[in-house]
Chains A and B, each alone.
Chain A
């Protein structure tokens, strides 16, 4: 019947009209840049030049041979490997504690979520004051322990005898401070996701586990809660990883030049910013971008694979 056929064509046409803007922007803003980064990573292009030379895999060679980039990988992976387990673990711990205590727990939930809402750059500056070697709140608090029983702790003893760490100025501490702020900022987000996950765990399962002899709280957690939180954990770990890879604000705020003492906090996002944008070395910046995308996509694909295969109960 021609009328229906006609209506179908009309619907098809409108459907394309409705998706066209989104489709166009997706290609223009997300896909083309990925291709551009891929292509430019094999060149020595810089903005302002009309031409460029193909340099083969030289940019990638550099990434894997120069010590600067070795430091970049070390800093990035140290950050990810520290922040992800800690923020996931603390998020889960806080969620379990809060979940077990009823309405009073909501106060903690609100407080722990505050850093997620706050502008990270502003909070980074606040932390910088907190960590100021002489007038910062952290070292002042530590100084208060001098002359008390707490001095038996070696760290405090050394601090009292000599001086407390410079924190941000010290290459042994800088990356750990960054990690700490990362955990401080991110664990509340994970906590909220876990709290949502916990509401989905059926009470009957606990009773059943108890009948089967799971008496201690740990047993119940191991047998019921943890498996039931599987899908949440997969998601929380993936999103924490992706966020951790993108750390930038704190580092740029503390060390606008150069990525920290002895480049100990020279993470990938900062490297892209410094090489690609500030120094106009687009080739090397693009190569870092490509590696970055590979890491992130790889992580997300693992997540999707896990979600589809394993964690449905």
Chain B
């Protein structure tokens, strides 16, 4: 029993260190700038009403506003009307810190657009990877043809090359054909997943030949066999690969950083967050952490819901 206690103590200490930045990220996304500066307010902050200075400044009344408001305030001087208007603006610009942080996250930068880009890019990468890898894996596993061994050795060799490592020549090639700052640039280098081919081939090797022969008897062509027979049998492996692929590309920062410069419409979520950080001043810690929370949350939630599958998918590369 005491030994178990020690184990728990060690593991809990580790867990605290692992959780600390997550705790801080979520907590700051709830707090007002003052609370962040002074380090008060516990996890949720006190959620006292705060005034959004920028919003007040935007509504700063000019002479026309004062003239327009004159009927509402009869028998008052211009400066009195002005003060009343400012007071109104301050009242309207009051918000709870949590609402302030999250609305700022979505309004200061087109965060929705970034998230959409993230979805578009990760989904296209995954779909193209499958369209390319599945037929090749089937041919390598189940068809006899001259050159099969050579192709497979090439696959094994390409497994040695990390795409991030050859980013520079890839960037030059894309620049030469004028594709930088396009969706294509974000997707193209990842369309070939040698690892996917290898994985699917290993999986298809275990599918009995009879299944394929039966399909041929029914008059199915090889293309039809790939998509209508092999694909359904490979669903579990595909799911694991999907998780692997989506996690890698949703979180990827290096490649988008290289091929997307300046064009905000193409920013993926990590790039958007980076830009936010670049031009943020001290008072924007809250909204920035809100952005970070929004970006991190989808995968974390998915992971918590389907833990076993995620761990399977992420550690796929470890399966032999």
Contacts and interface: CB of A to CB of B under 8 A. Distances in A.
A235 B11 contact: no
A21 B188 contact: no
A57 interface: no
B167 interface: yes
Interface string A92-131: 0010011011000100101111111111111101110110
Given A15-B148, A26-B158, A125-B288, A130 B20 contact: yes
Given A120-B253, A135-B36, A22 B135 contact: yes
A119 B269 contact: yes
A22 B54 CA distance: 53
A33 B24 CA distance: 42
Nearest to A138: B20
Contacts of A120: 251, 253
B237 interface: no
A117 B175 contact: no
Nearest to B300: A117
Interface residues of B, number: 94
A192 B155 CA distance: 27
A13 B277 CA distance: 54
Contacts, number: 259
A74 interface: no
A87 interface: no
B14 A112 contact: yes
Interface stretch (B56-64, B81-89, B95-103, B308-316): B308-316
B125 interface: no
Contacts of A80: none
Interface of A: 8, 11-12, 14-16, 18-19, 21-23, 25-26, 29-34, 36-37, 40, 47, 90, 94, 97-98, 100-101, 105, 108, 110-123, 125-127, 129-130, 135, 137, 140, 184, 188-189, 192-193, 196, 231-232, 235-236, 239, 242, 246, 248-249, 252-253, 256, 269, 272-273, 276-277, 282, 285-286, 289, 292-293, 296-297, 300-301
B116 to A, nearest CB: 16
A30 to B, nearest CB: 5
A140 B38 CA distance: 11
A41 to B, nearest CB: 10
Contacts of A112: 14-15, 18
B132 A25 contact: yes
A293 B221 CA distance: 41
A-B interface, 6 closest residue pairs, ranked by CB to CB distance from nearest: A22-B136, A33-B169, A25-B192, A18-B135, A15-B145, A122-B292
A114 B300 contact: yes
A126 B165 contact: no
Given A192-B314, A289-B168, A114 B18 contact: yes
